[in-house]
Amino acid sequence: MHELSPGDWNNFKIDSPILYGWNSLLQLRNERIKINEDPIDELEVDIPRSLAATLQSITDINPMNTAREKKMAKEKFTIILMSNLKQKSDWEGLFEPICQVASKYDVLICVNYFPVDHDSSSEKEVGVFKENMTNLAKLVDMLSKSGGRVAESLLQPFEDAKTYINDWNKEPVNFVKPVKVFKGEIRIGCDVNSLDLENSFSEANYFGSEKDALTNGYNKNTDPLSLCIKVDGFPLIKVDRPTLFNEVNVQYDSNTKTHKISTIKSTRETFVMVKPDQDTDDDDEDAEDADTGERSSKETAILKNIGYNEIQQVYNYGKSMIPVTGPLKEQIKIPTYTGIDVIKITKKSDIPPWYYRDESIVILPQQTSTIADQVEFNMLAQSMIRLGVVAIVRYVQKDNAAEKLAALIPNIVMTAETKSRPQTAEFKPKQEDFKRKFDEMSEDSLEGNFYGFSLVKLSFVDDEKIPSMFKLSGIYDPEKATNTPKDEFFKENYPNKEMIDLMNELIDNLDFDKPSDQINEDMYLELNDLDTVPIARTKGIEVQSTGKTFSDNTRALLSQNEQQIHWTQLFIKKLVYYHLQEAQTGDSLYDLMQKSKDESFSDASSFLQDFTEEAINFMVHTNEKYGKSLFTEHEKKKLENGALEDLLQKMELLLDNKKS
């Protein structure tokens, strides 16, 4: 792109992405990245001109026009400026242009400076620093009077910037703009059948007395026993959709020795199974039947491709097939209208949890709803929370969309005002950070909250597919077989007693930590004990060793913060295998580890030699399999030359475990 002018960058076409290896990336960095080693020019450290040049680049890349202005709200520009403010800058005539362009493109400007050291700096440097600080403070003040992101421009020391970056890395914040997915009403107590008839008749152009006669003159607005509340729906959880890789292929280019991503092009073909003689005329077929008297049984069916214009959709009605045409589709199409119709009220415990599916939607009163609608909405939510019930509803997201079954669950919505609510007489948590629970609230504490409903989709009875499977537990007994089809089925799908016994024996042999007959509490390791498992720590495990742990030398070796974690895993695997070789009947894995504290193994040198050889083989295997080594070149030379005295001494102390 360096050969194109900024005005032509919008028309620049980006090629397919390329996957580079580490060596290629290193070569790319050395060839593409150039560092200017010339002395710094005065214009290069002039703060206002550097801001002006950056803003000019933004304007060149993104020219403003009518079509462009519609997309500006989706694009965000940020300028981060870092300086020690020791160079004198000329701000004359640049405040207004910088503010004008920054406001036009809504550019957030963050100035991070390094504070001056008054003891080691001269009076001239301190004076220049104060002058630059005054001008930057004036610029930030002018930008704060604008609207949008540019009003959040700030001036801060570098230490504060590092703190913000660390906090951001620890707990990244996702700014999600809520998108309205539903706008309609909740209808309670309405005659749903009459509403469906009314909607269908309106599509069929029924008017006047005919419509009133078929719907019995029902009107939801005048029904005293019905309730209609205007509501909006928002997605409860923002889900990051994963990238679909089923249409992407990675190919290796032998010329550039890199991998390239390409799109997979697929086509769909439709075919039927036909016999070879079906393509001939009927007269020829009859003549052939008369001559031969019978068809040859050796003829096999073949595949025949058919086009989309030869496919006809049909409905099965009994033993008949009704072709589906365009007019028929329009006639049998049932019109649906946006809304949430309450069908039934039931206990929350009556719905199995596995019936809930798909993403949830938060239902809230409309912002333009009346006070009466808000009161009705809150009273409905409060009463359902007190009774512990949920509503089974029929949900239509938009006009002519499919009807869905859903559960309307009342909730107390967490807002900026309620999430930090102080302790009250109605709610006294056991701890300060104890999570608020609805069942610990009294009825009086329900007042003063924000209420909402979570709409969770359910499955219709027709959508529930219960599989019909045969009994999975059983044993086939050849002595009781009677050569019936049922016995043949049992022989093919069920094991016999010998297979069951062999499988039980295999499972028992795989259980290395099987408890012995004499069970006591000291045989088991406590998983909540931090000293039990050798966790890698920077300073090692400093807590006192208990009776349920490895030896001190083991802890000292395995608690180091090693970079090559594969090496440590290999050593632990070899160590456990070494203990298993010394095992006796009835020993558990815990007993074997305890023996390493009291007994000294005579063949410690052979173990060290085997471990070193296995480590070399492991390193060679990873080179051949992955094309790269898990060890650095320095470690590789040390391993091949046998210069691992420090590690071998630690292993000897680990296995011998002699107290000084």
Query: Among 4-18, 54-68, 166-180, whose mean pLDDT is lowest?
Result: 4-18
What is the mean predicted confidence (pLDDT) over 47-65? 80
| pLDDT for position 648 | 53
What is the mean predicted confidence (pLDDT) over 32-39? 60
Which of the listed ranges 79-83, 260-264, 578-582, 636-640 does the model predict with the highest average pLDDT?
79-83
CA distances to 66, 103, 198 from 62, rounded to whole Å, are: 12, 14, 53
Whole-number Å distance between alpha carbons of 487 and 476: 8
Per-residue DSSP letters for 313-369?
-EEEETTEEEE--HHHHHHHPPP--SEEEEEEEEEGGGS-GGG-EEEEEEEEE-TT-
* Pair (529, 499) in one structural domain: no
Residue 213 within a domain: no
* Pair (495, 539) in one structural domain: no
Query: Among 266-275, 320-329, 506-515, 535-544, whose mean pLDDT is lowest?
Result: 535-544
* Pair (628, 571) in one structural domain: yes
Domain range for 315 is: 270-328
- What does residue 38 show for φ and ψ, rounded to 5 degrees? -70, 155
Residue 61 within a domain: yes
Residue 323 and residue 313 in contact, taking contact as beta carbons nearer than 8 Å? yes
Percent of the chain with pLDDT over 70: 45
Residue 243 has pLDDT above 70, yes or no: no
Q: Give the pLDDT band (50/70/90) at residue 407.
A: very high
Q: Give residue 654's region: left, alpha or beta (phi > 0; psi -120 to 50).
A: alpha
361: closest CA among 314, 327, 395, 324? Answer: 395
| pLDDT for position 337 | 80
Find the DSSP H helices in 171-273. 192-203, 208-214
Tell me: the pLDDT tens digits for 118-158?
A: 888 888 888 989 999 999 999 999 998 887 788 888 898 88
Residue 108 and residue 77 in contact, taking contact as beta carbons nearer than 8 Å? yes
* Pair (534, 627) in one structural domain: yes
* Pair (540, 613) in one structural domain: yes
Q: Give the pLDDT band (50/70/90) at residue 453.
A: very high
Residue 589 within a domain: yes
Residue 226 has pLDDT above 60, yes or no: yes
Residue 447 within a domain: no
Residue 404 has pLDDT above 90, yes or no: no
Q: 358 or 4: whose pLDDT is higher?
A: 358
Whole-number Å distance between alpha carbons of 72 and 67: 9
Token code pair at residue 362: 């938060």
What is the mean predicted confidence (pLDDT) over 296-315? 72
Residue 610 has pLDDT above 70, yes or no: no
What is the mean predicted confidence (pLDDT) over 587-596? 56
* Pair (492, 573) in one structural domain: no
* Pair (499, 531) in one structural domain: no
Residue 535 has pLDDT above 70, yes or no: no
* Pair (486, 551) in one structural domain: no
Residue 353 has pLDDT above 90, yes or no: no
SS3 308: helix
Residue 527 within a domain: yes
Residue 340 has pLDDT above 80, yes or no: yes
- Count CB atoms within 10 A of the CB of residue 558: 21
Residue 289 has pLDDT above 70, yes or no: no
Q: Give the pLDDT band (50/70/90) at residue 187.
A: confident
* Pair (494, 549) in one structural domain: no
| pLDDT for position 139 | 92
Q: Which of 120, 148, 170 is the last residue of a domain?
A: 170
- What does residue 549 show for φ and ψ, rounded to 5 degrees? -155, 180
Residue 642 within a domain: yes
Residue 126 within a domain: yes
Question: Token match 């509503």: residue?
Answer: 391
Which of the listed ranges 13-22, 120-129, 332-341, 352-361 does the model predict with the highest average pLDDT?
120-129
- What does residue 361 show for φ and ψ, rounded to 5 degrees? -125, 130
Residue 427 has pLDDT above 50, yes or no: no
Residue 376 within a domain: no
Percent of the chain with pLDDT over 90: 4
How does strand 258-263 pair with strand 248-253?
antiparallel
pTM: 0.38
Residue 609 has pLDDT above 50, yes or no: yes
475: closest CA among 503, 455, 517? Answer: 503
* Pair (634, 540) in one structural domain: yes
Tell me: the pLDDT tens digits for 547-590?
A: 444 445 444 444 433 334 444 455 555 555 655 566 665 555 55
What is the chain's mean pLDDT, rounded?
67
* Pair (63, 157) in one structural domain: yes
Residue 473 has pLDDT above 50, yes or no: yes
The CA radius of gyration of the chain, in Å to the nearest whole number, is 39
Q: Which of 313, 328, 343 is the last residue of a domain?
A: 328
Tally of domains in the chain: 4
What is the mean predicted confidence (pLDDT) over 481-492? 78
Which regions of 102-239 does DSSP assign to beta strands (E)? 107-113, 154-157, 182-188, 227-235
| pLDDT for position 409 | 92
Question: Token match 């209808």: residue?
Answer: 187
| pLDDT for position 72 | 52
Q: Give the pLDDT band (50/70/90) at residue 84.
A: confident
* Pair (558, 638) in one structural domain: yes
Q: Burial, 486: exposed, middle or buried (Cβ in 10 Å; 0-12, 13-18, 19+)? A: exposed
Residue 175 has pLDDT above 90, yes or no: no
Residue 439 has pLDDT above 50, yes or no: no
Q: Which of 328, 359, 375 is the last residue of a domain?
A: 328
Residue 408 has pLDDT above 90, yes or no: yes
What is the mean predicted confidence (pLDDT) over 401-411? 88
Q: Give the pLDDT band (50/70/90) at residue 546.
A: very low
Residue 452 and residue 362 in contact, taking contact as beta carbons nearer than 8 Å? yes
Residue 425 has pLDDT above 50, yes or no: no
Greatest Cα pair distance in the chain: 120
| pLDDT for position 566 | 43
Which of the listed ranges 233-237, 511-515, 595-599 does the model predict with the highest average pLDDT?
233-237
How does strand 450-457 pair with strand 357-365?
antiparallel
What is the mean predicted confidence (pLDDT) over 156-174? 68
Residue 107 has pLDDT above 60, yes or no: yes
Find the DSSP H helices in 171-308. 192-203, 208-214, 282-292
| pLDDT for position 620 | 55
